[in-house]
Amino acid sequence: MTTGTERRPLWVLPLDLVRGFLIGLAELVPGVSGGTVALVTGVYDQLIDSASHVLSALKRLVVGPDRWTGFREELARTQWMLIVPVLIGMAAAVLTAAGIMARFVADHPEASRGLFFGLVAMSILVPVLMLPSRDAPTAGTRLLDAGLVVAAAALAFVLIGFADGGAQADPSLVVVFFAASIAICALVVPGVSGSFFLLAVGLYSTTMGALDDRDLGYIAVFGLGALVGLASFVRLLKHLLTRHRRLTLLVMTGLMIGSLRALWPWQAASGGDESAPGALLAPYDPVLGPVLLALLGAVVVGALVVFERRFSPTVHEIEEEEAAREAARRDRKDAADG
């Protein structure tokens, strides 16, 4: 049997650690989605698929049927050689860079937003390139696709405008739990920023401070809420990507476009927090720095996209491999039953 651990070559292990670190960094920045980085670095589908298998394994273990057999089968279909290094990289980023990133975003808002604006703007190409082809598209279907992208972009743009940047100094742990369960969903949805959601509800500075100070009680409650939110959402997203892939990718594209509202470099301070989205302004000094950083971010993402498309397996190849494994599993089960 081909297992998830055997399917991924060892030489990509350092790359997966770096991918995880970059995803973790993205989750620390308001307006930037870890899901976007996962898309750009070419592991988005595989991470969602593996997370879905882990959740299915736990479900089989609890409710059956064939609890232990089903549990082992689902775990064997999980790409542990991808998930483990990515999680290690994410944890390293969150635990070592939370304070640094928070200070960078707060002390240099124009420069930081410029860099992330370029990263996210170029990243919009990724879900577009992943769109499945459509036979003989009509003017109506093209118009429907465009309308879906525009609607999702408008929704993200409007919602971002509601953030005021006010911080809660001593939030209830119940509030922290539920905020984490919602914010973690942004980890798997490109264009939706978990850090931005925390900023909107006044928990961004508090959470960054807790991570930087190693407040284990706060971190434990936040982590538990994140696990509950992730378990509640991943299987839905897996279903959408499998059954309604084109529609889901179009919505992701729109969300990423709308999220640029939070990353326009020149904004008025909101709620006393320079890093919080405020009224959009015309460019003011500094101008050159944010523009150059935006171009740098775009170039970096462009290089990553070219690298991943040349050296990583395509979604079609991944789906064919998964279908072959599923057919082999059914054949073994039929043989055992016979």
- Please write the tens of the pLDDT for every residue from 126-163: 888 878 877 777 888 889 889 999 999 998 888 777 66
Residue 147, pLDDT score: 92
Residue 3, pLDDT score: 39
Closest CA to 271 of 177, 200, 196, 194: 200
Tokens of 309: 């498309």
- Cα separation of 329 and 303, whole Å? 38
Q: Please name the helix (run of DSSP H) or strand (run of DSSP E) that holds residue 174, with its range, or none.
A: helix 173-183
Residue 1, pLDDT score: 34
Neighbours of 323 (CB within 10 A): 10
Residue 281, pLDDT score: 87
pTM to 2 decimal places: 0.69
Residue 5, pLDDT score: 41
Q: In which residue are the tokens 């040349």 written?
A: 310
Handedness of CA 284, 190, 43, 194 (dihedral sign): positive
Closest CA to 92 of 162, 38, 22: 22
Residues 162-179 as b or e (16 or more Cβ within 10 Å = b): ebbbebeeebeeeebbeb
Contacts of 206 (CB under 8 A, 6+ apart): 167, 168, 169, 171, 218
Tokens of 165: 């940047």
**CA atoms in the 13 A half-sphere facing the CB of 297:** 24
| Cross-strand bridge partners of residue 32 | none
- Cα separation of 239 and 49, whole Å? 10
Q: What is the pLDDT tens value at each position of the chain, 338 positions in all?
A: 333 444 567 777 888 898 889 888 887 776 677 777 888 877 888 888 888 888 888 888 887 777 888 888 888 888 888 889 999 999 898 888 877 877 887 788 889 889 888 888 888 888 888 788 777 778 888 898 899 999 999 988 887 776 655 556 678 888 889 888 888 776 677 766 777 677 766 777 788 788 878 888 888 999 898 888 887 788 788 888 888 888 888 988 888 888 888 788 888 766 555 556 677 888 988 899 999 999 998 998 888 778 767 765 544 455 555 556 666 666 666 666 66
Closest CA to 285 of 265, 264, 263: 265
